Amino acid sequence: MTDESQIQRLMNRYCYAIDGGDFATFQQLFEQAQWMAEGQTPGKESANNLILYPDGTPRTKHVISNIQIDIDDRGTAANARSYVTVYQATDDLPLQVIFAGEYFDQFVKENDQWRFAVRDVRHALIGDMSKHLRIPSLTISGA
């Protein structure tokens, strides 16, 4: 598997973890990395901001597109940029886009494995997030 493929799989793993309510995987992805929104790390109070439904998920689908991955000449660091669109549907919210933005990612390769170093979510276009985050501004500045 190429380095680009490994990085893209890591990017996808993030989406699957969030949408599946798999917060153990989310924590694993960022135990040595920083997750930011608009260049700022959300405060600890945002940790329980996500609304989960009886099935244990936030009832979302994160879709990434326009993926651009640049790997350094040594093959030990990479930057990626992609669009993210988040769809949500609940019992009282029809399927709709609740968020559109960009991921600016940094990766490092250690022991022949890629990992996140930084994920920064930026340039948000925000829809109805009332069924996704209890207080959107705690997680996404300006929301």
pTM of the full structure: 0.93
**pLDDT attached to residue 105:** 98
* Among 98, 106, 107, CA closest to 131: 98
- Tell whether the model's pLDDT for residue 18 goes beyond 70: yes
Mean pLDDT over each residue of the chain, to the nearest integer: 93
Over residues 54-107, the pLDDT tens digits come to 999 999 999 999 999 999 999 999 999 999 999 999 999 999 999 999 999 999
Q: Note down the domain range covering 61.
A: 3-139
Q: How many domains does the chain have?
A: 1
Looking at residue 30, the DSSP 8-state letter turns out to be T
Residue 10 is part of a domain; what is its CATH number? 3.10.450.50
Q: Write the single-letter amino acid at 79.
A: N
